[in-house]
Amino acid sequence: MKSNKVTIGLIGVIHPNMPGNDQDVFQKVSQSLDKVKDQMDFEYVVWPELLGIEEEAEKASRFIDDKGVDFTFIFSASLGVDRVLLPLARMKSAIGLWSAQEPKKAEFCN
């Protein structure tokens, strides 16, 4: 039975060939939401894998729908592939796009 709290979801999308440490950025975002969920009185659901291909996004979309999520953040730690976004756009939950600033070349070429 679903609680009366709003349920917030988080899904991370990436471009598989982009440099940088997307997993660490995603984990920090996920941990931040987890820390404030009780303080702000919402349920929190996260798809733990970063999505880089359409088939993975279809699984994540079904997961979010099955959990009855009300609002889902689609977090892009790096340029998300457009085909990955299509199944997510079909989710029953409302969505919000959230992205991080792209690293400068010097930050990942050392």
pLDDT tens per residue across span 69-106 = 999 999 987 666 677 889 999 999 999 998 877 666 55
Predicted pLDDT at 20: 65
CA distances from 106 to 18, 103, 109 (A): 14, 8, 5
Task: Answer yes or no: is 52 within a domain.
Answer: no
Give a yes or no: residue 37 inside a domain.
yes
- Helix (H) / strand (E) element for 61: namely helix 54-66
**What's this model's pTM, rounded to 2 decimal places?**
0.84
* Domain count of the fold of the chain: 1
Show the domain range for 93: 1-6+25-41+60-110
> Is 85 inside a domain boundary?
yes
User: What is the distance between the alpha carbons of residues 78 and 15, in angstroms, rounded to a whole number?
Assistant: 6
